[in-house]
A and B are shown apart, each in its own frame.
Chain A
Amino acid sequence: MTLLTAILALVALALVFGAILGFASIRFKVEGNPIVDQIDSLLPQTQCGQCSYPGCKPYAEAIADGEKINKCPPGGENTIQALADLLGVEPEPLDAEHGEESVTKVAVIREDECIGCTKCIQACPVDAILGAAKQMHTVIASECTGCDLCVEPCPVDCIDMVPVAPTVQTWSWEQPSTTADSIAAKNDNLIITDKGRGAAA
């Protein structure tokens, strides 16, 4: 008798909780995979396709499905590190097959050579190229992500990828070298020296 009560009680409990869980899974259903958005926000959004996916979002989805995290050259080591932290996996070196990490670049059209074919405009994923058919085109430098996609379609090869030079506003200090031989060469950064500062009090 007690055995039966116990079983009944457990079954009743199981049903109640099952119903609650079932309801909750419908009522509080999460649309889409939230991890995809988190991954997507870590990617550099150049939409360059070097990872072999047609944009950053698709790659984010692929990563969420188990794709490797080292296929994004524009993001480089920092992005890999951030992704590894987010996903709790070991960071891997950048897959050289998809390109190498390089300095930030911006596309520049040599305007006297442009024939106004609009091919680069169609290729630009962020609408950073201005122009019309048979009119000279130009790149809005502040909108350019340096994705390189406009270079290939150009029939007259008049687009250059120019590294962005640091300005006084964007410049920042280099990392001090920690190796022995370069310390003297890198001493520009170092102002205070033992002699100059005097004896510590």
Chain B
Amino acid sequence: MSQAIKLWDIHGGIHPEENKSQSNQLPISTLPLPKKLYLPLQQHIGSPSELTVKIGDKVLKGQRLAEANGFISASLHAPTSGTIVSIEERQIPHASGLTAETIEIETDGLEQWCEREVITDYLHTDPIALLAHIRNHGITGMGGAGFPTAVKLTPKDDDHIDTLIINGAECEPYITSDQLLMRERADQVIDGISVLGQILKPKRCIIGVEDNKLDAVKALRDSIDAHPKTLPFEVKVAAIPTKYPSGGEKQLIQILTGKEVPHGSIPADLGIVCQNVGTVAAISKAVLEGEPLISRITTVTGDAVSQKGNFETLIGTPIEDLLAHCGVDESKLFRLIMGGPMMGFTLHSTDLPVIKTTNCILAATEQEFPNPAQAQDCIRCGMCAEACPAELLPQQLYWFSRSKEFDKAKHFNLFDCIECGACSFVCPSHIPLVQHFRFAKGGIRQEEQAHIKSEHAKMRFEARQDRLAKEEAEKEARRKARADAAAKAKAEKEAKAKLAESQESPTTNTPTADASEGDDKKAAIAAAIARSKSKKPASNETTPSSVDIKPFKVASSQARAAHLQAQRALNAAKETGELSKEQIAEQEANVSSLKKAYEDAKAKLDQAKNGNTVAPAQEQAPSVDIKALKVASSQTRAAYLKAQRAFDTAKEAGELSAEQLTEQASEVSKLQTDYENAKAKLDAAKNGSPTQTAEAASSPTVDIKALKVASSQARAAYLKSQRAYDASKEDGSTSEDELSAQLKKVEALQSTYEKAKAALDDAKSGKTPASNPVAKEKASPSPSETFENKYKQVKVETSQARAAAKQAQKAVDEANEQGKDETQIKELETALAESVQTYEKLNSKKLVLQEKVKARKAVEASAVSQPKESKPAPETVAEQPPAEDDPTKKLKELKVAASQSKAAWRKLERELGKAQEAGEDTAELEQKVSAAKTTYEQANEAKTTAMAALNS
């Protein structure tokens, strides 16, 4: 059996009063089943568990409630059967007093077990399966920290474990839960060691027990003797001298093996694994009985309870219940501590559950745990350094922690401090040294986190900067390319014009498809130029018409020549039958487009000749454009369909090889995109022109509307002033002069209203509002509205033009990517330049109109605000968009308006606050704020009504 084991000593250490006899006299008893259990999702070190149940679920005893989330995490199981009542944030037993997600179970008292998984033949089970079993059963360290046991039992590849140390030291005063466990359930501990032996395959195992628990030592030794078969390695029980903190992991290892765990390493690096006796017993229960970690032995002690002892407590039992069972005297309870007096922490409420690491509940009276004495200055006596089991220099660390010199504290190995509290215990100045060290550790960790975060932010910031720079460079490159293309096109055009001037007849070209294509492009350019020229009114109007005609002539003759050539080439090709169907179709399309271009050019020439130089051309331009676009669209469509058909037949016939097929397919898709682009352009153009015509048509109705608004406004103003007048008359407080003035005002308003009404009627009955001067004068809002309408239209057009430009750009890019012919690309580029031009024109127009609208609005606002002293109505009316609009759209607008006004109001309020702080004069600002507030309220009201209307 056990011969004497060589023991070593640790540095420092203290001998506090043990206070264990109060609670270790009675055997372990079981607590009655509590009505409710509270299970925080995090009772261990690592990441919180992940829920696997939901509110309302019926759970059985031992059923998993939450599973391990990540490597360092642990599962959580139902301690008894019952119903999940809630899953919410509750205060947890933690030094911080913070809340965390907690499952609340209402117990049903049935104690109905779920199916248990038992491994009886664990000696022939794969260690990995055993580890998984331990992990699945939620076992964590029971000594205090709650580190997931399976993680601790998974050694790194190169570590071979030769010594297993079981920690039964229980060196903290008051706590006796491990002692009772070893005394009463030694067999469980030994079985657990046997399981661990199968997992770790150690050469020996030492159970370290302080020599104040000789009953436990004896029980363990007896149990070892009774289990010779399941222990294929040497298991010894060492009775070690009682000294705090011999139960610290590193300290116990040093006492039992003489080895010190170096800074920054773990015991496994020395071939040692250390487990608490409670953990070992829990492992044995999990493996041999299939019972997950759902209960533990908790010591309840302290002078505030009458029945001190150890209790088999379900995890999640409210401490309230535990204390009530033990006969707590609330009046005597001065401090409630979870854990021991040295390393535990104060609880601020009894409404907290027992968790996996609750080894002791200490309900102390004031006599037992009075408030600490006032800390005095450090006298550098050095007693702390003598007591420190980690051989640190607590007084140095104290200075650094106090002055937040974390770097230096770190340099003095602060992180080797086990926070045992021996230094605080011996300090004659009552300095709370451990608390300072805990603070410094937290500070260092926070700094590290902050540093990681700042590095991350820096990375992201730099990535963003790079991206922005790249985008800018790309934009610049595109702009340059566009400018180059435009310049090139211009130069070419000039050269062409010169060439055409110098020789009357068109140059003779070889009738090849390429040449015709080139010419086609040139003709298109010429036509486009002709078009754009015809659009420029101001410059052309003053110049003589003969100058105008020349370019048209040139363009027309060029287009004609190109058309003829293409026609010829096509005929030749048809005759020889050399070309495929598709090619012919393409050429045909070319020819017809050339013809079209020629006709266009001719038409323009005729127009120019006839002298109606500009205005008609301008009007016609869109329709011509549409026509051209229509033709282009249908052509591309035809080409696309043909190509598609050809592709299909080829596919069916199976004549072509796969490569050819894919080639064809790509061509088809190209054509499709071309077609779609053309169609989009066409649509855009179509949309662009009808709006212009619609504008004129819609204006009378708009006018009527405006008049209506004006009339109702005038009426409202009139009625209000009438009422005000009546009121003041009755009041009798105002003087006669004032009354007469008011009366006059009322009369004036009445006439205004009548005029407005007349104007409205006129407008309704078909008379133009312009013919009625009174109506015109009174209908002041109407011009602004027409302006606005125009502005809106132009805006729409502008955005369309922009979209067209973008599309064109995309087409160019696509073409570039697909490696299309240069000529084609150039064509596209000219189209692009054109659309960009249109867009710019429209945009400038838009801006001008915008300015106008703004100016008009400002004038109106001032006009409206002056005569009305008692009527804010028109403004709100004006703010509300016409009811005919799409309601959701309207609602959105209202929402935006409301939140904008809110923002304005808030900003003003903030300003006001600042001004008030600064002690400035705030009367004006206050007025502004209230005005903004009313605006916001109105807008908000409008919003809510609109919302309600929409909902109903």
B744 on interface, CB distance cutoff 8 Å: no
Is B463 an interface residue, CB under 8 A from the partner?
A: yes
User: Given A44-B450, A45-B458, A143-B460, is A156 in contact with B902 using a C-beta cutoff of 8 Å?
Assistant: yes
Q: Are A172 and B461 in contact (CB under 8 A)?
A: no
- How many A residues have CB within 8 A of the partner chain? 54
B906 CB contacts on chain A under 8 angstroms:
157
Q: Is there contact, CB below 8 Å, between A196 and B345?
A: no
Of the residues B95, B402, B436, B461, contact of A47 by C-beta under 8 Å: B461
Q: A191 contacts B375, CB within 8 Å?
A: no
Q: Shortest CB–CB separation between residue B450 and chain A, in angstroms? A: 7
B373 with A194: CB separation less than 8 A = yes
Question: Which of A174, A195, A199 is in CB contact (< 8 Å) with B368?
Answer: A195
User: Chain B nearest CB: distance from A154 CB in Å?
Assistant: 7
B148 contacts the other chain (CB 8 A): no
The answer to whether B372 and A193 have CB atoms under 8 Å apart is: yes
Which chain B residue lies CB-closest to A167? B98
Q: Which of B288-320 contact A (CB under 8 A)?
A: none
CA distance A46 to B463 in the complex (A): 14
A-B contact pairs, 7 of them (CB 8 A): A85-B407, A172-B446, A178-B402, A188-B348, A192-B372, A193-B369, A197-B173
Q: Min CB distance, A117 to chain B, in Å?
A: 9
Interface residues of A in 166-199 (CB under 8 A from B): 166-168, 170-176, 178, 180, 183-184, 187-199
Considering only residues 361-395 of chain B, those with a C-beta below 8 Å from chain A are 364, 367-375
Residue from B372, B375, B458, B464 in contact with A127 in the complex, judged by beta carbons closer than 8 Å: B464
Give the nearest-CB partner of B343 in chain A.
A191
Return the CB mask of B421-449 against A: 1 if under 8 Å, else 0: 10011100010100110110111011101
Task: Give Cα A138–Cα B569 distance, bound, in whole angstroms.
Answer: 62
B424: A residues at CB distance < 8 A: 192
Q: How far is the CA of A199 from the CA of B442 in the complex (A)?
A: 31
Most buried by A among B17, B372, B464: B372
Residues of chain A with a CB closer than 8 A to B371's CB: 184, 187, 193
Picked from B364, B443, B899, B900, the residue with its CB within 8 Å of the CB of A172 is B443
- In the docked arrangement, what's the CA distance between A188 and B341, Å? 13
Q: Is B457 a contact partner of A45 (Cβ separation < 8 A)?
A: yes
Task: Please give me the residue from chain B that is nearest to A175 by CB atom.
Answer: B439
Residues of A within 8 A of B493 (CB): none
Contact of A43 with B by CB under 8 A: yes
* A99 at interface, CB cutoff 8 A: no
B896 touches A125 (CB 8 A): no
Contact yes or no, B14 A201, CB < 8 A: yes
Residues from chain B with Cβ under 8 Å of A176 in the complex: 375, 432, 435-436, 439
The answer to whether B439 and A173 have CB atoms under 8 Å apart is: yes
Could you tell me the distance between the alpha carbons of A183 and B373 in the complex, rounded to whole angstroms?
8
- Candidates A56, A78, A187; contact of B458 at CB < 8 Å: A56
Chain B residues near A (Cβ < 8 Å): 14-19, 42, 92, 94-96, 98, 100, 173, 337, 341-346, 348, 364, 367-375, 401-402, 404, 407, 421, 424-426, 430, 432, 435-436, 438-439, 441-443, 445-447, 449-450, 453-458, 460-461, 463-464, 895-896, 899-900, 902-903, 906-907
Chain A residues whose CB sits within 8 angstroms of the CB of B375 once the complex forms: 176, 178, 183
Give the distance in Å from the alpha carbon of A41 to the alpha carbon of B96 in the complex: 31
- A199–B458 Cα gap in the complex (Å)? 55
Q: How far is the CB of B319 from chain A (nearest CB, A)?
A: 17
Tell me which residues across on chain B come within 8 A of A18, comparing CB atoms. none
**Known contacts being A45-B461, A184-B371, A201-B15, is A166 close to B337, with CB within 8 Å?**
no
Interface residues of A (CB under 8 A from B): 40-41, 43-47, 55-56, 78, 81, 85, 113, 115, 125-128, 143, 145, 154-158, 166-168, 170-176, 178, 180, 183-184, 187-201
Note all chain A residues with C-beta closer than 8 A to B173.
Answer: 196-198
Which residues on the A side are within 8 Å of B364 (C-beta)? 196
Q: Nearest chain B CB to A114's CB is how many angstroms away?
A: 9
Q: Nearest B residue to A43 by beta-carbon distance?
A: B454
Shortest Cβ gap from A70 to chain B (Å): 17
Nearest A residue to B40 by beta-carbon distance? Answer: A168
In the complex, the answer to whether A191 meets B463 with C-beta atoms within 8 Å is: no
Residues of B within 8 A of A113 (CB): 899
* A126 & B460 in contact (Cβ 8 Å cutoff): yes
B17 close to A199 (CB less than 8 A): yes
Contact (Cβ within 8 A) B96 A196 = no
Q: How far is the CB of A29 from chain B (nearest CB, A)?
A: 24
Q: Is the CB of A155 within 8 A of B94?
A: no
Report B715 CB to chain A, min CB distance, Å: 35
State the CA gap A185–B15 with chains docked (Å): 29
Whether A188 contacts B446 by the Cβ 8 Å rule is no
Give the CA-CA distance A145 to B457 in the complex, in Å.
Answer: 7
Please give, as numbers and ranges, the residues of chain B lying within 8 Å of A189 by CB-CB distance: 432, 435, 438
Whether A192 pairs with B421 at a CB distance below 8 angstroms is: yes
Check B896–A115 contact: CB distance below 8 A: yes
* Bound CA–CA A119/B372 (angstroms): 56
Q: Is there an interface contact between B425 and A183, defined as CB atoms closer than 8 Å?
A: no
Alpha-carbon distance between A190 and B432 when the two chains are bound, in angstroms = 7
CA distance A145 to B732 in the complex (A): 66
Which of A55, A167, A172, A180 interacts with B439 by CB under 8 Å?
Answer: A172
Q: How far is the CA of A166 from the CA of B96 in the complex (A)?
A: 9
Q: Shortest beta-carbon distance, A46 to chain B, in Å? A: 7
Assembly CA distance A26 to B445 (angstroms): 43
Question: Which residue in chain B gives the minimum CB-CB distance to A122?
Answer: B468
Asked, given contacts A168-B94, A180-B374, A188-B346, whether A78 binds B447 with beta carbons under 8 Å apart, the answer is: yes
- With A45-B454, A125-B461, A189-B435 as contacts: A200 and B900 at CB distance below 8 Å: no
Of chain B, the residue at the smallest CB distance from A173 is B438
* CB atoms of A126 and B372 under 8 A apart: no
Q: How far is the CB of B426 from chain A (nearest CB, A)?
A: 6
Chain B nearest CB from A126 CB (Å) reads 4
Shortest 10 CB-CB contacts between residues of A and residues of B: A198-B17, A172-B442, A201-B15, A156-B899, A45-B454, A157-B903, A173-B438, A171-B96, A126-B460, A176-B435
Q: Are B374 and A183 in contact (CB under 8 A)?
A: yes
Which residues of the other chain, A, contact B341 by a CB distance below 8 angstroms? Answer: 191-192, 196-197
| Contact between chains at B95 and A173 (CB < 8 Å) | yes
- Whether A168 contacts B442 by the Cβ 8 Å rule is no
Residue of B nearest to A40 (CB): B458
Identify which of B96, B432, B439 contacts A168 (C-beta below 8 A): B96
Give Cα A167–Cα B96 distance, bound, in whole angstroms: 9
Q: A173-B95, A198-B16 are in contact. Are A193 and B370 (CB under 8 A)?
A: yes
Q: Among the listed B19, B402, B404, B439, which residue makes an inter-chain contact with A198, where contact means beta carbons less than 8 Å apart? A: B19
Add 13 more A-B contacts to A127-B463, A189-B438 (CB < 8 A).
A44-B450, A44-B454, A125-B464, A172-B442, A175-B404, A190-B372, A192-B425, A197-B16, A197-B425, A198-B18, A200-B425, A201-B14, A201-B15
A132 and B14 CA atoms in complex are apart in Å by: 65
> Whole-angstrom distance from the CB of A82 to the nearest CB of chain B?
8
- Chain A residues, CB < 8 A from B19: 198
Contact check: which of A55, A156, A183 meets B900 at CB < 8 Å? Answer: A156
Partner of A195, one of B100, B370, B402, B895: B370
Q: Which residues of A contact B907 (CB under 8 A)?
A: 157
Q: Which residues of A contact B454 (CB under 8 A)?
A: 43-46, 145
